[in-house]
Amino acid sequence: MCNLSQGIVESTTERNTLDSIRNLMETLNLTTEEAMVALKIPEAERPKYFAMLKEL
């Protein structure tokens, strides 16, 4: 896969993950951390999503 295609796939995956985190937080009244645990997001990736959520 070329770098552009890989970047698009990663960007789409990150956007979908962010949407899932926000949906769990809203629907089930979970904290950000609880939503990430429910989605089985690896601990090493969680700081990236915390930062991305703060930017929104």
pLDDT of residue 46: 97
> Which residue is listed with tokens 């809203």?
26
pLDDT of residue 2: 66
Task: Work out the average pLDDT over 33-50.
Answer: 97
Q: List, for residues 16-35, the tens digit of each pLDDT value.
A: 999 999 999 999 999 999 99
Q: Which amino acid is at 45?
A: E
Does residue 51 have a pLDDT over 60?
yes
pTM of the predicted model, to two decimals?
0.83
- Rounded Cα distance between 12 and 54, Å, is 18
What six digits make up the tokens of 12? Answer: 């789409």
Q: List, for residues 3-17, the tens digit of each pLDDT value.
A: 766 777 788 999 999
- Rounded Cα distance between 34 and 31, Å, is 5
Q: Which amino acid is at 9?
A: V
